[in-house]
Amino acid sequence: MPVYHGALRITRVLDSLGDFAAHSRTPLPHGRGSVFLMFAAVLFSAACAPRAAPHKLSIAAAADLQFALDDISRGFRQAHPELDVAVTYGSSGNFYSEIRNQAPFDVFLSADSEYPRKLAQEGYADARSMFTYGVGRIVVWASKQSPLDLARLQIHALEADSVKHIAIANPQHAPYGRAAAAAMRSLGVYDRVASKLVLGENIAQTLQFVQSGAADVGIVALALALAPSTRAQGRYWEIPLDAYPKIEQAGVVLSHAKEAAAAREFCAYLQSGAARARLKEYGFYLPEK
Question: Residue 238: pLDDT above 80?
Answer: yes
Mean per-residue pLDDT, 27-35:
50
Any domain includes 289: no
Mean per-residue pLDDT, 228-252:
96
The pTM of the full predicted model, rounded to 2 decimals, is 0.80
Question: Residue 102: pLDDT above 90?
Answer: yes
- pLDDT confidence of 149, banded at 50, 70, 90? very high
pLDDT greater at residue 187 or residue 42: 187
Any domain includes 187: yes
Asked whether residue 122 falls in the same domain as residue 32, the answer is no
**Whole-angstrom Cα distance, residue 222 to residue 233?**
14
Asked whether residue 107 falls in the same domain as residue 202, the answer is no
Any domain includes 288: no
Any domain includes 287: no
Any domain includes 125: yes
Mean per-residue pLDDT, 232-250:
97
| Residue range 41-97, pLDDT digits in tens | 544 454 454 445 568 999 999 999 999 999 999 999 999 999 999 999 999 999 999
Q: Indicate the SS3 state at residue 96.
A: helix
| Residue range 106-118, pLDDT digits in tens | 999 999 999 999 9
The rounded mean pLDDT for the chain is 87
pLDDT of residue 53: 54
Domain span at 172: 136-243
- Which percentage of the chain shows pLDDT scores above 70? 81
Largest interatomic CA distance in the chain: 102
What DSSP element (H or E) covers 66? helix 66-79
**Whole-angstrom Cα distance, residue 226 to residue 247?**
17
Asked whether residue 108 falls in the same domain as residue 12, the answer is no
174: CATH: 3.40.190.10
Lowest-pLDDT range of 11-15, 188-192, 212-216, 240-244: 11-15
Asked whether residue 174 falls in the same domain as residue 211, the answer is yes
Count up the domains in the chain and report the number.
3
Any domain includes 193: yes
Question: Residue 153: pLDDT above 60?
Answer: yes
pLDDT of residue 5: 39
- pLDDT confidence of 206, banded at 50, 70, 90? very high
pLDDT greater at residue 80 or residue 28: 80
